[in-house]
Structure 1
Amino acid sequence: MRLKRFDCRVDLRVDLRAATAAVLTFLLVGVAGPSPAAAPGLENAKCLSCHDGRKDAIEVPGADGESRALHAVPPDAFAKGVHAKMDCVACHTEITDNAETDNTHRRDPAQKAKDCASCHEELWERARQQGVAQDKPRLGVVADNIAAYKESFHARKNADDPTRPNASCDECHSSHSFNVPPKDSPQYAEWRLGVPETCGKSCHEESLETFTESIHGEAIFQKKDAKAAVCSDCHSAHAVGNTSLAPFKLAVTAECGNCHEENFKSYKATYHGQINTLGYAYTAKCFDCHGSHDVLAVKNPDSKVHPDNRMKTCKECHNGKKDLPEAPPGFASYQPHGHAGDFERYPQMWLANQLMVQLLVGTFGFFWLHTLLWFWRELRDRQQGKVRPHVRADAPGLAGARHAGKHFRRFSATWRAAHLAFALSLMILTLTGIPLFYPNAPWAAPLMKALGGPQIAGTIHRINAVIFAAVFFWHLAYVAVRLARNWKEFRIFGPTSLVPGLQDGKDFLAMLKWFFGKGERPVFDRWTYWEKFDYWAPFWGVTIIGVSGLMMWASTITATFLPGWVFNVAAIFHSEEAFLAVVFLFTVHFFNNHFRPDKFPLEVVMFTGSMPVEEYRREHALEYERLLQSGELEKYIVDAPSRPMALGSKILGFTLIAAGLTLLTLVAIGFFGSH
């Protein structure tokens, strides 16, 4: 398993170490106060006379009964360290004299040698008690590092020697000579270049050997590039954790992005990256494809992402086990870092994005302007007292008082059920899809968690996609049957046809004249031009969203016959068309049917199926007059909905509007937060 050697890695987060090193001398002397003078014979000079490493190695009994050599303390290195002004016995408090018996000192059993953690914790606590903690924030940083270390793999008992941890502070920091140079200095760069050897030669020899051959190791050891990745960059500072758990996998992926910003950005735009951004680690991450210690350049024949090796790499996850079928050939040409900003490298994505951008700009530009002009004209008419007259049901030409309180049947129960299924499935599709579209939004991760995670949300999404498509295809079948039965009466163009015609263009121009006060408000027939657009738009939308979604859903079948870049293009079409549909429906469609002043706050005809006769005459005067003249009006006249039906329709309508506006708000937060 990749990264298996990281379970107890040395952790040397350089920025924290540098800051800590720079203040340790002050902390130890300035906060704790001057150390008491060492007893005669226990001065540093006396200690170093034996422990300077210039004589024979000093051996002492080890925990396993075997003798071990003590670490030498080179005087020059000690003099440059942050502890140079301290007495040796300030830490080695158990040593009471310099007499030696079998290379051991006389020790005070009541004393115990100071350890790094307890000493620095005491300094921090003392600073807090003295009320100077706010002036010494780095003391708090060190205390936090200690707390993190105590929870890390390094602090756990060593499997071979339970009397010691896997790694102690002085094994990484070398307490006798610890001194990290100031950042951005040549000395600091040199120190950083030595981090891999500190980790590797102490504990992780195998990992160091692999790392040395990698592109990162080549940069460190051959090119002397101190900006290249070292152990501590990926394995955090003092909180070295289990590399098989999600927190580490997510963190190390983000660490890759600190250096490889553009590639990380493009990765986050893919399904793998979206799931990762939401806090789930089961999709492919940087190291799954590129390796961990063994990262090689793409052009290297041994690289995991070299064209000759990509299928093998894909099959490490897509191996036919569990719920992932075996990767088909098309996966090898998928572009995990493709983006729409580079025509030369990714022409298909560039073209797809340009098409969708033009469609979005054109659609929203036209209809939002139409909406604003309509609202402005309505407002101006009201200010000038030009309110549309209320038509009484018993007025002349309305077939007498028998229509008072009556309704005009506009939509059958079948049409209303289809509309409701369409609306509900679309809203659920939006709810389950937008966390992937905007994974960085503040609401995305909590929403995905509330949905039960990406896998459950994905199942809900696909179920509602089937419902959405089923309603659409049922509609096509329904229309086909109706046309077959009434083909002699069918007219492609005409007052009852939903096919846009010349009259719709005239109506639109008449509306523009009214918008600018150059004409009277036009009257309409059975269908207005904006209703026809609402009808035909799903034919494009369902096709684009449905085909692209199906391609990604059945990815194994798709990639068996098509190259992998079709997934990059499908993702663009699917997400951008979904964005278009959601924003159009919850802005333009809501305004046209609910929010324009003469409809506000709610139009319930799509829930009740009928509308007052006087309102229908006002909204669709041409059809009303035609039906009245032909004697067909009566067959459309129905009783007003019952009180429970009317109340239920209002509750349902307001609920759907509230849900739509909530989804629109989430989309707006995600959109503006990502641009």
Structure 2
Amino acid sequence: MKRNSFLWLMWALLVLGTALAHAAPKKQAIKNDECLACHSDASLTKDDNGKQVSLHVDDGKFKASIHSMFNCTDCHTEISGAPHDPATTKPQCATCHADQQSKYDHGAHAKAIKAGDGKAAQCQDCHGSVHELLPSSDAASKVNRHNIPTTCGSCHGKAATMQSAGLSTAPFNSYEDSVHGKAVNGGSQTAAVCTDCHGEHDILTARDPASGIFKFNVPQTCAKCHGNESKQYVASIHGKAISRGNWNAPVCTDCHGIHGIKKPSDPNSSVSASNMSNVTCANCHEGVKLSNEFGIRGNRTSTYLASYHGMASKMGSTVAANCASCHTAHNILPPSDPNSSVNHANLAKTCGQCHPGANDNFIKGKVHLDAQQAGSDFGGKIVNLVAKFYVWMIIATIGGMLLHNIILFRRKLEMSRKGSARILFRMSKLQRAQHLTLLLSFFTLVFTGFALKFPNSFLGILLFNSETVRSWIHRIAGVVLILVGGYHVIYAVATAEGRKLVKDFLPEWKDATDTRDTMLYYLGFSDKKPQYKRFNYAEKMEYWALVWGTFVMAATGLMAWFKVGVGTVVPRWTIDVALTIHFYEAILATLAILVWHFYMVIYDPDSYPMNWAWLDGRMSIEHYQHEHPLDTEALANAPGSEPEEATEKEEETVGAHD
């Protein structure tokens, strides 16, 4: 009974309350025009702690804004009439935009404000004044896609604002110069802007696992625009390492950069043809960190740079193979994976992209050749042995040449005296032409060859740092050297002069005794000066060294030039051996010319400052008799006792001096 009475009482109170509510007079909303009657006055201000704050609302801009459909009092809820007392509370965007406010409250800007940074962005900093706010679809809106970089730059592009927050303007400035920034400035509506990567209201720092720019989230963030590349990356060895939580594995931004991403064709891009191998991939694959932590071999970049591909790349070539040419750009897989472009079964196809016709023989050898650590690689062992052999041969040969010349120079300097003006002809026109052609082609090959090996030296600079220019000059000079060598063979076989030349150059036992006697005489152990024929032992050594060196350099050079054809017949490592021989033979030949030949022609006191026979064919009879007293035929056939009496007749020439 008591319970029923209570229920009846509550029902009666409810009915009474409803009736009273309907009977009460309704509050009338203030029309916007009433507010604007005062607030459209540009001079309307209020005092805020001694600072005059404008209360002006632009009538036209407000009516064009997205908020014009609402009454002023929808936001300014404490205002009930006009005119009114000063408002004591600030309108809250969260009243309507609760979801956005919630996200903002968890973001970096809100946290900065709570930490005391009064310059951190709030709603109006990005969206603009609430009285002038435009929808994001409006081209004039501060949050229109095209304008977002400018809006963010109003803070992130100001040095003072960034410095006070312990940040830098570099990210914003580099974005402006990036492929994304340039595309946006060019009118693109799809190129990435700040909010695509950082989010809109819930902007978080890179260390927050929920952030779109947190390392492990970067691939998914980039996938919003770059779906195909992301799919390949996720399946790659790098993507799988990231999925396992490996912080050392690279994500998109590790290779492409963060804000300053550029087109791969841009020479300043971190993934350009020249920078990819030298800089970007080297950051991980050159050092020992990967070796120590994961057992992955380092020194990948240095071995690449030591190869033709690497040297050509350093010379500025944009077509020489780089890391991505073989390993691909995003779908990088370990060699053990059957789908990998560098799996042994796929190597011929991969190499064939640049070298049509590459077969299984062509790929027999290491691409990242490290002869010092050849291990079980047969080709690498051969290259290592050849390199060691040449190092010791160069030391012994050039060292012996230097010692020989020092001995002769010291003694001859003491014995030097002026020669007679009577002359004979040491070299014919034909011989001098061969010598001059050989000289020019040889030094051109030396210049352009070492420019490839040392591209950062003055040699590379003089060739405009152009691999195309260098390679063509080198090959043309090589062809000239081969042609002059071939012509010399014909000359030596088909002409009487040539046959006599070769005959006089043939080694004989006397050369060995002359070598011994020369050393004894110039060391002061003998008073008997050795007597030489037309060519002494040193000249014969140089001639046959030239013949051998020309053959070796031509053969190995042609193997390198036509590597695909050669590589389809013999294993790939034989080309590596050929290149090693080519390099060390070039060093040997160059030093031999500088140390041995230049001494005989220039620095020998008997010839100094120059034996000009190579240019005009002439040599004084006294000098010739001093050097080659046993060549009685040449001395007997000397054309005259005075220079003006001599006439240059090719059939009367003494012979050739290389």
TM-score using structure 2 length: 0.70
What does residue 179 of structure 2 align with? 153
The one-character-per-residue Cα deviations of 1:417-458 (angstroms, maximum 9, x if unpaired) are 11111011112222332222223x2335433337xx333433
Query: What amino acid sits opposite 1:610 in the alignment?
Result: R
Change beyond 3 A, Cα 1:563–1:641: farther
What does residue 230 of structure 2 align with? 208
1:220: how far off? 0.9
Contact 1:80 1:179 in 2 (8 A): no
Map 1:152-551; keep pairs closer than 5 Å. 152-157=178-183, 162=187, 166-173=191-198, 177-180=203-206, 191-200=214-223, 202-222=224-244, 224-245=245-266, 247=268, 248-254=272-278, 255-261=280-286, 262-318=299-355, 325-372=356-403, 374-375=405-406, 378-379=409-410, 386-390=414-418, 393=420, 405-439=421-455, 441-449=456-464, 453-482=466-495, 497-520=504-527, 522-551=530-559
Change beyond 3 A, Cα 1:445–1:84: farther
Contact 1:412 1:609 in 2 (8 A): yes
What does residue 122 of structure 1 align with? 158
Which has the larger displacement, 110-119 or 275-284? Answer: 110-119
- Inter-partner Cα distance in structure 1 for 2:377 and 2:159: 57
- Inter-partner Cα distance in structure 2 for 1:197 and 1:540: 62
Contact 1:89 1:95 in 2 (8 A): no
Contact 1:435 1:445 in 2 (8 A): yes
Contact 1:432 1:460 in 2 (8 A): yes
Contact 1:301 1:308 in 2 (8 A): yes
Change beyond 3 A, Cα 1:277–1:109: closer
- Inter-partner Cα distance in structure 2 for 1:606 and 1:83: 88
Q: Name which structure has the greater RCO, CA cutoff 8 Å, separation 6+.
A: 1
The one-character-per-residue Cα deviations of 1:97-155 (angstroms, maximum 9, x if unpaired) are 88999999xxx99999973334344326998xxxxxxxx9x97xx44443332121111
The one-character-per-residue Cα deviations of 1:464-490 (angstroms, maximum 9, x if unpaired) are 22221121122222222357997xxx8
Query: What amino acid sits opposite 2:275 in the alignment?
Result: A
Does 2:612 align with 1:604?
A: yes
1:554: how far off? 2.4
Query: What amino acid sits opposite 1:447 in the alignment?
Result: L
The one-character-per-residue Cα deviations of 1:33-65 (angstroms, maximum 9, x if unpaired) are xxx99997569xx667876xxx5x45xxxxxxx
SS at match of 1:621: coil
Does 2:573 align with 1:565?
A: yes
Change beyond 3 A, Cα 1:622–1:275: same
- Inter-partner Cα distance in structure 1 for 2:152 and 2:472: 52
- Inter-partner Cα distance in structure 2 for 1:206 and 1:147: 28
Which stretches in structure 2 are left out of the alignment for 5+ residues? 1-51, 55-86, 287-298, 649-658
Which stretches in structure 1 are left out of the alignment for 5+ residues? 1-35, 59-69, 128-135, 319-324, 394-404, 646-675
Query: What amino acid sits opposite 2:192 in the alignment?
Result: A
Query: What amino acid sits opposite 1:278 in the alignment?
Result: M
Contact 1:339 1:350 in 2 (8 A): no
SS at match of 1:408: strand
- Inter-partner Cα distance in structure 2 for 1:639 and 1:83: 105
Change beyond 3 A, Cα 1:121–1:491: closer
Change beyond 3 A, Cα 1:75–1:379: same
- Inter-partner Cα distance in structure 2 for 1:82 and 1:462: 68
- Inter-partner Cα distance in structure 2 for 1:602 and 1:101: 89
SS at match of 1:341: helix
1:589: how far off? 1.8
- Inter-partner Cα distance in structure 2 for 1:587 and 1:619: 20
- Inter-partner Cα distance in structure 1 for 2:391 and 2:340: 41
Change beyond 3 A, Cα 1:362–1:94: closer
1:302: how far off? 0.6
1:214: how far off? 0.4
- Inter-partner Cα distance in structure 2 for 1:211 and 1:41: 53
- Inter-partner Cα distance in structure 2 for 1:484 and 1:378: 32
Query: What amino acid sits opposite 2:592 in the alignment?
Result: F
- Inter-partner Cα distance in structure 2 for 1:102 and 1:614: 103
The one-character-per-residue Cα deviations of 1:311-350 (angstroms, maximum 9, x if unpaired) are 22223333xxxxxx44344333353212322343433343
What does residue 634 of structure 1 align with? 637
Contact 1:338 1:346 in 2 (8 A): no
Contact 1:290 1:305 in 2 (8 A): yes
- Inter-partner Cα distance in structure 2 for 1:170 and 1:523: 91
Contact 1:78 1:84 in 2 (8 A): no
- Bigger Rg, structure 1 or 2: 2
Corresponding pairs, count: 537
1:180: how far off? 4.3
The one-character-per-residue Cα deviations of 1:208-249 (angstroms, maximum 9, x if unpaired) are 222111000111112x21111111121124321222455523
Query: What amino acid sits opposite 2:464 in the alignment?
Result: K
- Inter-partner Cα distance in structure 2 for 1:473 and 1:209: 58
Which has the larger displacement, 298-307 or 259-268? Answer: 259-268
- Inter-partner Cα distance in structure 2 for 1:217 and 1:437: 36
1:299: how far off? 0.6
Q: Cα RMSD over matched residues?
A: 4.3
- Inter-partner Cα distance in structure 2 for 1:588 and 1:237: 57
TM-score using structure 1 length: 0.69
Change beyond 3 A, Cα 1:437–1:351: same
What does residue 103 of structure 2 align with? 72
Map 1:52-71; keep pairs closer than 5 Å. 55=98, 57=99
- Inter-partner Cα distance in structure 2 for 1:365 and 1:307: 41
- Inter-partner Cα distance in structure 1 for 2:590 and 2:562: 24
Change beyond 3 A, Cα 1:96–1:524: closer
Contact 2:124 2:130 in 1 (8 A): no
**Same amino acid, percent of matched pairs:** 26
- Inter-partner Cα distance in structure 2 for 1:381 and 1:344: 52
Query: What amino acid sits opposite 1:252 in the alignment?
Result: M
SS at match of 2:464: helix
- Inter-partner Cα distance in structure 1 for 2:285 and 2:645: 64
The one-character-per-residue Cα deviations of 1:166-206 (angstroms, maximum 9, x if unpaired) are 22334434586443459xxx999x94333323323x43233
- Inter-partner Cα distance in structure 2 for 1:619 and 1:233: 70
- Inter-partner Cα distance in structure 2 for 1:117 and 1:387: 83
